[in-house]
Amino acid sequence: MRISVRFLALGSIACCVISTSIGKPTEVTAQTERTLAGEWIVRSSPIDGKMASPKGITLGFPERDMVFEQQGDLRTGVVLREDVGQNVKPLGVWRVMGDDFSTTFQLWCPDTNGPCGSIVMRGTFVRDDRISGTMTAFFDQEDTSTPTGFDTWTFSFVGNRVGGSQ
């Protein structure tokens, strides 16, 4: 009787081991790395109804056509500004960390006597082809009421990858 109990216990253990190993993949598939590379249509919107910076500077809230490229470790971006001229293409850089990303662009400044600045975008991939987040404009105009000492303005954005780009 002792042999049959041992045999039964050993058989039960063997069945458990076999059943847990059957159907399991032998290789774990890695999640694809997110990338901004490609063309995106990005729409910005005012936060709390603020249509301009505290000093009255506005960028409007249009859709912007942005193209991001990656060549090795070099990641660049261009904002296509056909509304002001074919040769106006503010340049930027970007990085991705998991599902999050950041980009920085230098604003186009046609009037050298007026305020200029840069845009910082921080966001998240909603899907591989959709992003959302906030943008902050940092203008080269003094504003002692802000922590940066310069006129700043934050707004939200959503973006969609243009079909077939990347």
Predicted local confidence at residue 43, as pLDDT:
95
Predicted local confidence at residue 2, as pLDDT:
58
Say if CB 78 and CB 91 are below 8 A apart: yes
Predicted local confidence at residue 30, as pLDDT:
47
- From its phi and psi, is residue 69 left (phi > 0), alpha (psi between -120 and 50) or beta? beta
CA–CA gap between residue 55 and residue 84 (Å, rounded): 23
Q: Which architecture characterizes domain 38-161 according to CATH?
A: Beta Barrel (2.40)
Residue ranges per structural domain of the chain: 38-161
Say if CB 42 and CB 159 are below 8 A apart: yes
Say if CB 135 and CB 157 are below 8 A apart: yes
pLDDT > 90? residue 108: no
CA–CA gap between residue 118 and residue 120 (Å, rounded): 7
Q: What is the pLDDT of residues 37-67, one digit of tens each?
A: 999 999 999 898 888 999 998 887 678 999 9
List phi, psi (to 5°) of 7: -65, -40
List phi, psi (to 5°) of 132: -155, 160
Bridge partners for 42 per DSSP: 64, 159
pTM equals 0.74
Q: What angle do CA 101, 65, 31 make, to 5 degrees?
A: 35
Q: DSSP assignment of 152-163, as one string? A: EEEEEEEEEEPT
